[in-house]
Amino acid sequence: MKCYVKKFSDLDTLTFFKLAKARVDIFVVEQECAYPELDDVDILEETRHIYYLDSDGEVVAYSRCYQKTSQVTAIGRVIITEPNRGKGLASKLMKESLSVCKHLWPDYKVQLSAQTHLTPFYESLGFKAISDTYLEDGIPHTDMELTQ
């Protein structure tokens, strides 16, 4: 399994298709959220797509990092594909994502919008809640910020 960190302009079409399909399979199909999964953040020059592919070239894990405001960067669209869950890959992916954020935006705060049931996982990585729980596409979420 290999990790890649790329801008949109550096992704080949097959890889972007696989990443988009994995995101749609999880966020739209599995979680039953009918919303436009692909957005303009994907193609921004500063956005980085962080992903792991297995030896067959299939998506195992994915996230994206981007500049949210002039002082805040965000990690979003965090996924581990279904057959690869429960193997510690989420921690590995998040550590890589945090490394990318800190490298590109060393003085920025790092935030994310967590599905509320996952807040203990993100807390274990140094995040703390900065909002009350709210519904996003019918799923409870909590905004979080890195405290370390």
What is the reported pTM? 0.91
Band of pLDDT at residue 23, cut at 50, 70 and 90: confident
**What mean pLDDT comes out for the span 95-121?**
96
Beta strands 109-115 and 72-80, pairing class: parallel
Task: Indicate the range of 22-31, 81-90, 116-125 predicted with least confidence.
Answer: 22-31
Closest by Cα among 147, 71, 146 to 112 = 146
Tell whether the model's pLDDT for residue 4 goes beyond 90: yes
Q: Tell me yes or no: is domain 2-146 CATH 3.20.20.70.
A: no
pLDDT of residue 50: 98
Total length of the chain: 148
Tell whether the model's pLDDT for residue 31 goes beyond 70: no
**What mean pLDDT comes out for the span 42-64?**
95
Report how far residue 136's alpha carbon sits from residue 91's, in angstroms, rounded to the nearest whole number. 24
Closest by Cα among 84, 137, 81, 96 to 3 = 96
* Tokens 């298709």 sit on residue: 17
Which ranges constitute the DSSP H helices of 66-140?
A: 89-104, 119-124
